[in-house]
Homo-oligomer: A and B are copies of this chain.
Amino acid sequence: MGKVDLKYPEGVKWTKQRKDVYRVLSDAKEPLSAVQIYNNIQKDGNEEGYALSTIYRILAAFEEKLIVAKSTWMDNSTVVYEKIKEEHTHYALCLGCRKRIPLHACPMNHIHLEEENMGFTITGHKLEIYGYCQGCKEKD
């Protein structure tokens, strides 16, 4: 799955390690930590996987090249990475079951800063909503 047909961005030395990290991020349905990427690569292939430090270095390089964006989940401190693309997703985190529900709309479309901050140019944003999902409400 996704092993072929991937266009690699230019300006990067495409070692097999980097291709694998890029593929995992391309297939990912949500932001992944370095360790998750590391595990996915080993699970996926017959290959024995790469050093974790290599994954971190690749991610740093990708971030530099604006191929991936680095961020963290609201509820813990592990850093996650996701491939930068036009669309983006926000999540609602259920405080009960810790499930993350993807939202399909972005409230930032309706945002404007007040006068005092007019000088600020917005290039991105991060939003997470939290609360309780149907199931967890009923359990309570």
A residues near B (Cβ < 8 Å) are 70-79, 92, 94-95, 101, 103-105, 107-108, 110-111, 113-114, 116-117, 119-135, 137
Report whether A125 and B123 are in contact in the complex, using a CB–CB cutoff of 8 Å: no
Neighbouring B residues of A130 by C-beta, 8 Å: 122-126
A18–B59 alpha-carbon span in the complex (Å): 40
Neighbouring B residues of A78 by C-beta, 8 Å: 77
Instruction: Choose among A73, A95, A121 the residue with the greatest number of B CB atoms under 10 Å from its CB.
Output: A121
Report whether A120 and B107 are in contact in the complex, using a CB–CB cutoff of 8 Å: no
15 A-B pairs with CB atoms under 8 Å apart are A72-B76, A74-B126, A77-B79, A92-B120, A101-B120, A103-B117, A113-B129, A119-B133, A119-B137, A120-B131, A121-B132, A122-B129, A123-B132, A125-B128, A126-B130
**Shortest beta-carbon distance, A90 to chain B, in Å?**
9
**Shortest beta-carbon distance, A88 to chain B, in Å?**
13
Report whether B94 and A120 are in contact in the complex, using a CB–CB cutoff of 8 Å: yes
**Shortest beta-carbon distance, A129 to chain B, in Å?**
5
